Amino acid sequence: MIAKRVSVFFLVLVIATSVVPVPLSAQGSNVSPVAPRKELVASVVREAYDKFRSDTSGKNADYIPALAEVDSKLFGVAVVSTDNQVVTIGDINYSFSIQSISKVFTLALAMNELGPDEVFKRIGSEPTGRAFNSVEAVVDMPTHTGNPLVNAGAIATASLVSGKTEDEKWNKILAFYSKAAGEKLKLIDEVYKSEAATNAGNKALSMLLAKYERIYSDPFESVDVYTKQCSVGVNAIQLARMGATLANNGVNPATHEQVIKREDIPYILSTMMMAGLYDSSGGWAWHVGLPAKSGVGGGIVAVVPGKGAIAVFAPRLDDAGNSVKAQRVIEYVANKLDYNLYSPSSVGLK
Ligand code: DON
């Protein structure tokens, strides 16, 4: 009887596996059981690209003069899956400044060094509901730092990174970002110089943090390290791979290196969900339901845990400082591919 049941089970299994097509992404040695098929992703990404390519709403950031000079028409999309399949379209080789997206990775580095409890104690993780560079938030919030993704919290997070000299800290940050991207990244000197010459607001934030004893190295040195980290150049593929490293439990899907500690991933992703798009993070969670981070350079990366990441670069921003086209493309792709983490069907419920 038992032998009969076992053989029926295997018969059903053989039939099932021969009729259910194995997704491309689940073939080969580095398989992801949940990454969607490459052809499907490619066709949805193309639809989104075609739908939004002529959208001219928003405008380049200009409070950092070098960003105003970037061609507003540039538009690139890259998706990297946790099994390292890459789908791209548009201007995917253009190297743009990572800006605030860097904050996610400095947070990861600080947690690698200090652990999440210490980082939470020193920085905190509460939404400010205000602009990314808000001074009022520093004054009003009990933690003063807000969270690691607003400027004040990010400068304080950069001040946590250890090193005997400023150069040592900066080189450590750049090397860490490069490991997450799977390629050596470089500073865009022109952007760094432009921001360094116009960042009085961030210097003021750092002094305010010092008043509240919420910065952990020299304030202006920390702003300089932070300004450099924001000026790191990435293209859409590199950014998507950094996101895919977060999606893949901290392991870079191309190099297989454990860059970010697995146990730190939930803290990072929940912080991105809560504050990744600043004062429009609530609307983003409502419509898209994915942890994401934007930068005023025009990039946004959204992470789909276990599956991969989508990065979009398009310089025109809305009033909150988030790329307009990038938000639209990610929302479109996430809806079509059922990526919203809060959607019952995204976890297999009917
Ligand atoms: O500190 C700044 O203002 C910039 N380096 C980064 C701001 C930013 O990217 C906000 N993001 N949307």
Q: Which pair of tokens denotes residue 92?
A: 């995917």
CA nearest ligand 1 atom 7, residue: 100
For residue 296, how far is its CA from the centre of ligand 1 (angstroms)? 5
Predicted confidence at residue 166, as pLDDT, reads 98
93-112 mean pLDDT:
98
Does the pLDDT at position 87 exceed 70? Answer: yes
Tell how far the Cα of 308 is from the centroid of ligand 1, in angstroms: 25
| Alpha helix (H) residue ranges in the chain | 2-19, 38-52, 65-68, 102-114, 116-122, 135-140, 151-158, 166-181, 189-196, 200-211, 219-230, 236-247, 265-275, 281-287, 324-336
Q: Give the Å distance between the CA of 99 and the centre of ligand 1.
A: 5
Query: How confident is residue 17, by pLDDT bands cut at 50, 70 and 90?
Result: very low
The closest residue, in CA terms, to atom 4 on ligand 1 is: 99
* Best residue among 70, 97, 99 to mutate for probing ligand 1, ranked by most atoms within 8 Å of CB: 99
pLDDT tens-digit readout, 149-180: 999 999 999 999 999 999 999 999 999 999 99
- Nearest Cα residue to atom 11 of ligand 1: 295
Report how far residue 275's alpha carbon sits from residue 255's, in angstroms, rounded to the nearest whole number. 29
pTM of the full structure: 0.91
26-35, 79-88, 265-274, 304-313: segment of lowest average pLDDT:
26-35
Residue 148 has pLDDT above 80, yes or no: yes
Question: 58's torsion region: left (phi>0), alpha (psi -120 to 50) or beta?
Answer: left
Confidence of residue 23 (pLDDT cuts 50, 70, 90): very low
Q: How confident is the model at residue 32 (pLDDT cuts 50, 70, 90)?
A: low
Quote the tokens at residue 65. 């003069």
Q: What is the mean pLDDT of residues 244-271?
A: 98
Residue 299 structure tokens: 């990039």
**Could you tell me if 240 and 310 are in contact, meaning their C-beta atoms sit under 8 angstroms apart?**
yes
345 or 178: which carries more pLDDT confidence? 178
Q: Counting atoms of ligand 1 from 1, which one is nearest the CA of 230? A: 5
Cα 98 to ligand 1 centre (Å)? 9
pLDDT value of residue 15: 37
pLDDT tens string 298-320? 999 999 999 999 999 999 999 99
Question: Which ligand 1 atom is the nearest neighbour of the CA of 297?
Answer: 9
Output the ligand 1 site: residues, CB below 6 A. Answer: 99-100, 132-133, 151, 195, 202, 230, 294-296, 321-322
Nearest CA to 133 out of 203, 75, 214 is that of: 203
Place 202 in a pLDDT band, splitting at 50, 70 and 90.
Answer: very high
Residue 239 has φ and ψ, to the nearest 5°, of -65, -40
| Spatial contact of 89 and 329, defined as CB atoms under 8 Å apart | no
Compute the CA torsion angle 241, 316, 148, 150 (nearest 10 deg).
180
